[in-house]
Amino acid sequence: MDGIFPDRQTGTKDDRIQYLARHGTVPLSRQHIVGNYVLISNENNGSDGEAFVEDFKARKLGPVVGVPSWGGLVGILNGQTTVDNGKVEQSNNAFYNAEGKWLVENHGADPDILIDNDPQSVMAGKDPQLEKAIETAMQKIKDHPFTFPPVPQYRKP
């Protein structure tokens, strides 16, 4: 395997992270995160998906491609109905990082590489965010090749 794309374009707390790899999927754990990663995130990513982006960035696992996420990670309790029966929501809680910087709420998790899936590209069947993520990953693979060590023989009881 040469690279992994964790896709957080529509992240919510109830969905599962999709690991798209060139040669299938691999299970990951906090203790065994190695390799070349590029994360994709967009405006539809919210809640735990935004926490995932911030954790990914804090661990310096790789670049994030896309646009800022939704911006409502912690809690929305003050929804107000508008005259046209829409709804305006604002966060009522927030959190900050180890450097004392406010994160996510009312802004979103910022990507390292800002690129939008503009309507014209989407209507033409293109995905500029995915294309940029692949380009970025291929460059990372070229600059920092990685291979997993061979699986050792299992011990006999």
pLDDT tens-digit profile, the chain (157 residues): 555 556 555 554 333 333 333 333 344 444 455 678 899 999 888 888 888 888 888 888 899 999 999 888 776 677 789 999 998 877 777 778 888 888 888 888 999 999 999 999 999 999 999 999 999 999 998 998 877 778 888 888 7
CATH classification (class only), 4-143: alpha beta
Report d(CA 155, CA 78) in Å as an integer.
Answer: 57
Residue 79 is predicted with a pLDDT of 79
Would you state the pLDDT for residue 124?
97
The structural domains of the chain, with segments of one domain joined by +, span: 4-143
